[in-house]
Amino acid sequence: MTHSASVSERLLQVSDLARVEGEGSLRVVVRGGTVQEAALNIFEPPRVVEALLRGRRHDEAPDITARVCGICPVAYQMSACAAVEQACGVVVSDPITALRRLLYCGEWIQSHALHIYLLHAPDFLGCQDAVGLAALDPNAVERGLRIKRTGNLLMETVGGRAIHPVNVRVGGFHRAPTTAEIQALRRPLQVALEDAAATVEWVSRFDIPDLEADYLFVALLGDQQYPIEAGRVGSSAGLDVSPEEFEPMVIEEHEQRSTALHARLRGRDRYLTGPMARYALNRERLPEEVRRAAEAAGLAAVCCNPFQSIVVRAVELMYACGEALRLVDSYQPPSPPADPVPGRAGSGTGATEAPRGLLLHHYELDDTGLIRVARLVPPTSQNQLAIEADLRQVVQAGLELSDADLTWRCEQTVRNYDPCISCAAHFLDVTVERQR
């Protein structure tokens, strides 16, 4: 971090925003005690994945798009499968859907445990990283790593590999795990469920900064269950549409300062996806014991403090462990493991809930099943404007803090969203400029 000061302005600069996945920079300008500008600049080198998908066969989309994000590859695979299957007019069997949901629970468990324990909790406890946290509270870090390991074990058992799973295909899976293989997950998941309940209790004791923000929440609406791999798209303003109706409503803008596009609803409204949005719109779909844990942790029915998102994430972690156990107990190996999905001309939209928010895929296929047009809308591009709005509020409320503390608070604000900047396009570089 460098720090320069003059009579007319103060400048703070951090050369990497750490503990996020990706590269970007943050610039805040304060003049006369008022925040003038708060911009999250993403300069992850563009990989133009949507362009290189053109001319690929419809069934190649899950493996190619998985490579957009090493932290949430299952989300990419599931949204891709949903979109391609819709384009080809195929609805997969219930056992395949259940196995997909189980795999997806593994990614939620892995990703949420990673974010809560290794990336985010150190901010609340004044540590630089999880190694520092382990010196302070070794039991907590070991608990986090234990939960994370179970998430990875689940992804390896169902997906064949924790990062970029190999067993997923359009139509279902290459091989259905045996009942014995799935049953072996039972014990580690029971331990993870206990550990997740302890996580909810642990994060609820953190000193959480006060901030109330006004959000337009957007999330999938679960049918009966909390949404993960499917659902209609809803909002806190009463929206209730299918993913294919929702996709054209998302207008992405391209600004000079960013290699990520940022999204507005109908070109107008900034909105928020992710755990807080899912919880606000689907709380009644959580099982009783999870809702009780959320209440005991001090969560209201709707959480509007972004710094409390770590508590919501812990509640979802608990849910994912319990849901995975339920799916393990009711597991029926899908037979066949994949339904046939012959390519044909058509278009389809897939929307699923990545750990960090809604992930949309849209494809248009030609009559040989080759992809003509691809559109991917990742959670971080949808959240970018909300993150910037939070930053303005955080800086305005924290002007009395020292440059070092304010910079850290800004970083923490960005990390509230578990941003995956490699998927939005990545290097967070924080600049706070104070002009008098």
Site for other proteins in 88-117 (CB under 8 A): 114
In the bound state with other proteins, the residue whose beta carbon lies nearer, of 114 and 394, is 114
Q: Give residues 33-62 in contact with other proteins (rule: CB under 8 A).
A: 44-52, 54, 56-57, 60
Q: Where does residue 241 rank: exposed (0-12), middle (13-18), buried (19+ CB within 10 A)?
A: middle
94 vs 174: CA distance, rounded Å = 16
- Residue 94 host element (H or E): helix 94-113
Q: Which of 13, 23, 82, 185 binds other proteins (CB under 8 A)?
A: 23
Minimum CB separation from other proteins for residue 69, in Å?
A: 5
Per-residue binder mask for other proteins (CB under 8 A), 357-396, x = binder: ----------------------------------------
| Contacting residue, 77, 152, 157, 235, with other proteins by CB under 8 A | 152
Work out how close the CB of 314 gets to other proteins at its nearest, in angstroms, rounded to a whole number: 18
Q: State yes or no: residue 333 binds other proteins (CB under 8 A).
A: no
Of 134 and 230, the one with the shorter C-beta distance to other proteins is: 134
**Which amino acid makes up residue 423?**
C
Q: Kindly state the DSSP code that residue 251 receives in the 8-state scheme.
A: E
Give the burial class of 22: count Cβ atoms within 10 A of its Cβ; 0-12 exposed, 13-18 middle, 19 or more buried. buried
Is 25 among the residues that bind other proteins (CB under 8 A)?
no
Near other proteins in 157-196, by CB under 8 A: 160-164, 166-167, 169, 174-175
Annotate 28-91 with three-state secondary structure.
EEEECCEEEEEEEEECCCCCCHHHHCCCCEHHHHHHHHHCCCCCCHHHHHHHHHHHHHHHCCCC
Rounded CA-CA distance 106/128 in Å is: 27
Q: Note whether 268 binds other proteins by CB under 8 A.
A: no
Minimum CB–partner distance for residue 233 and other proteins (Å) = 23
**Cα–Cα distance list, 84 to 76, 97, 314, 325 (Å):** 12, 15, 32, 29
Measured CA to CA, the distance from residue 391 to residue 38 in angstroms comes to 6
Whole-angstrom distance, CA of residue 96 vs CA of residue 22: 33
Site for other proteins contains 129 (CB under 8 A)? yes
The footprint of other proteins on residues 402-421 (CB under 8 A) is: 408, 411, 420
20 binds other proteins (CB under 8 A): yes
12, 13, 17, 196: which one binds other proteins (CB under 8 A):
17
Least distance to other proteins, CB of residue 234, Å: 28
In whole angstroms, how close is the CB of 13 to other proteins at the nearest point? 13
| Distance of alpha carbon 362 from alpha carbon 368, whole angstroms | 17
Q: How far is the CB of 256 from other proteins (least distance, A)?
A: 5
With H, G, I as helix, E, B as strand and everything else as coil, classify residue 397: helix
Q: Which is nearer to other proteins, 213 or 345 (CB)?
A: 345
- Rounded to 5 degrees, φ, ψ at 390 are -60, -45
Looking up tokens 């054209």 gives: 248
- Selected binder of other proteins within 131, 136, 237, 301 (CB under 8 A): 131
Nearest 5°: phi and psi at 178? -75, 160
Interatomic CA distance for residues 361 and 384, integer angstroms: 18
Number of residues that bind other proteins (CB under 8 A): 71
Of 118 and 314, the one with the shorter C-beta distance to other proteins is 118
Contacts of 11 (CB under 8 A, 6+ apart): 3, 4, 5, 431, 432, 433, 434
- Span interacting with other proteins, options 124-132, 196-204, 219-227, 348-356, rule CB under 8 A: 124-132
Q: What's the closest the beta carbon of residue 423 comes to other proteins, in angstroms?
A: 8
Least Å from the CB of residue 149 to other proteins? 4
